[in-house]
Amino acid sequence: MRADARRNHTRLLKVATEAFAEHGEGASLDDIAKRAGVGSGTLYRHFPTRRALLEAAYAARIAALGERGEELSRSLPPGEALTEWLHEVCVATIQVRGLKTLLGTAATDTPLTTCGTVVKSTAARLLEAAQSQGTLRPDLTPTDLLRLTQGVATAAELGGGEAQEIERYLGWLLDGIRQQSSRP
């Protein structure tokens, strides 16, 4: 990439991240281009779709969620690592406007985006470890788990998005997916 193209790319990402934070995933792409000091054509050359721009804007945040899952799997027992990671996914879904759409791609069986792949593979590793430990139902899939987690985040968001709401709803979800023999 030429130096001016790199500068445009960097400016577009910075402005897009700010715009998505302010207005959510529906932020005007024309306004993003204008605020970055480029034309709409330049925006679309770098990011051909809204999803591509969203994904680029939040790539670091998604990568951090994947890395966090790995950290938790090294420091906590499998069931606890999964619980903590799911809590962090719910918090991120509520706090970072526009992230819900990207995380939602991981909860589908359609071709995944890069962000969806990171989230789904992290969920799969943590889930498999918890299932191997015998604490979670063996019939639960990563897609099932992520769909349920999206539901928890949405319910918590409707309830004000407070941490206690997330913990309460996530607790109920996890109680429901535990193996019968490991329930209290």
**Domain containing 111 — which CATH number?**
1.10.357.10
State which residues form the domain around 64: 57-182
pTM for the structure as a whole: 0.85
Say if residue 44 is in the same domain as residue 71: no
- Which tokens belong to 151? 């539901």
The amino acid at residue 49 is: T
- In the chain, at which residue ranges do the beta strands (DSSP E only) sit? none
In the listed set 12, 27, 48, which residue is the last one of a domain according to the structure? 48
SS3 47: coil
Say if residue 69 is in the same domain as residue 148: yes
Say if residue 18 is in the same domain as residue 63: no
pLDDT of residue 108: 75
Say if residue 165 is in the same domain as residue 98: yes
Say if residue 135 is in the same domain as residue 155: yes
Please tell me the total count of domains within the chain. 2
pLDDT of residue 37: 95
Contact 90, 170 (CB under 8 A): yes
- Residue-level pLDDT, tens digit, the chain, 184 residues: 588 889 999 999 999 999 998 888 889 999 999 999 999 999 999 999 998 999 899 999 999 999 999 999 999 999 999 999 999 999 988 888 778 777 777 777 665 678 888 999 999 999 999 999 998 999 999 999 999 998 998 898 888 877 788 889 999 999 988 877 655 5
Contact 79, 136 (CB under 8 A): yes
Say if residue 135 is in the same domain as residue 63: yes
β-bridge mates for residue 136, sequence order: 178
CA gap 163, 160 in Å, rounded: 9
Residue 49 CA neighbour count, 13 Å, CB half: 4
Cα distances (angstroms) measured from residue 5 to each of 10, 46, 47, 181: 9, 9, 12, 59
Say if residue 78 is in the same domain as residue 44: no
The amino acid at residue 144 is: D
pLDDT of residue 182: 53
Say if residue 76 is in the same domain as residue 134: yes
pLDDT of residue 7: 93
Residue 120 CA neighbour count, 13 Å, CB half: 20
pLDDT of residue 1: 59
Question: Comparing C-alpha atoms, which of 54, 66, 55 is closest to residue 121?
Answer: 66
pLDDT of residue 25: 86
pLDDT of residue 115: 82
